[in-house]
């Protein structure tokens, strides 16, 4: 069986950056639900049009649609050796659905990158995102191009302080209960995210022990 990995943590915890590194290290697909949705919208696929209509109306993409997106992605043959999920699950119903999706496909390892609200706000004040692949940069403006694909880095429109505070409230209300859902499992890990990027990577590798 392959390595099936889920990364949890608040916005700004560096999940995207770490996911890219670990996926390359272990040669498993980095399945980013955000990237899947952005690509679908950009390419105007049926899924993209559906998601765009939901977002344009001011609503959120619901659990059922997100689960359908993940289920379809995890049916592809490239995940036979494992996968790294970034951005899903975000709610307990999604986590329960994921358990069903991967039943019989090996153990699920869950890692939470822990970061305080104050540090989240500090980091996101200067965070950049790749205009091509959507990967976040934690280099706080020192790097002008994406380390993942070479695309141009641009400011994130959703990183204004008021928006971030709202996202943190949503995270604590909806996503933090996942820690309780997964916390009793032998494969649940926690890593201190308030370290240098390389130190967080090393801590993740030790915690996962793949």
Annotated active-site positions, please?
15, 90, 127, 156, 167
Q: Which two tokens stand for residue 36?
A: 């899947």
Tokens 């641009």 locate to 154
Distance CA(30)–CA(35), nearest Å, equals 10
Q: Residue 19 — left, alpha, or beta (φ > 0 → left; ψ -120 to 50 → alpha)?
A: alpha
Distance CA(198)–CA(93), nearest Å, equals 33
Q: CA nearest 122: which of 146, 140, 149, 98?
A: 140
Length of the chain: 210
Which 3 state secondary structure label does DSSP give 160? coil
Q: CA nearest 90: which of 190, 7, 17?
A: 7
């Amino acid at each position: 069986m392959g390595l099936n990995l889920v990364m949890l943590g608040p916005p700004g915890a560096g999940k995207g950056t770490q996911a890219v590194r670990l996926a390359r290290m272990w040669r498993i697909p980095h399945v980013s639900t955000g990237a899947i949705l952005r690509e679908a919208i950009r390419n105007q696929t049926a899924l993209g049009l559906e998601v765009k209509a939901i977002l344009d109306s001011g609503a959120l993409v619901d659990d059922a649609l997100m689960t359908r997106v993940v289920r379809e992605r995890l049916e592809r043959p490239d995940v036979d050796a494992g996968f790294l999920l970034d951005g899903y699950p975000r709610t307990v119903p999604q986590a329960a659905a994921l358990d069903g999706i991967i039943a019989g496909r090996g153990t699920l390892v869950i890692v939470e990158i822990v970061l305080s609200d104050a540090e989240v706000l500090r980091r996101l004040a200067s965070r950049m995102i790749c205009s091509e692949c959507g990967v976040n940069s934690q280099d706080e403006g020192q790097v002008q191009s994406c380390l993942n694909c070479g695309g141009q880095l641009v400011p994130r429109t959703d990183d204004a302080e008021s928006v971030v505070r709202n996202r943190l409230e949503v995270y604590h209300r909806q996503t933090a209960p996942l820690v309780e859902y997964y916390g009793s499992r032998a494969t649940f890990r926690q890593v201190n995210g308030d370290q240098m990027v390389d130190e967080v990577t090393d801590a993740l590798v030790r915690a996962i022990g793949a």
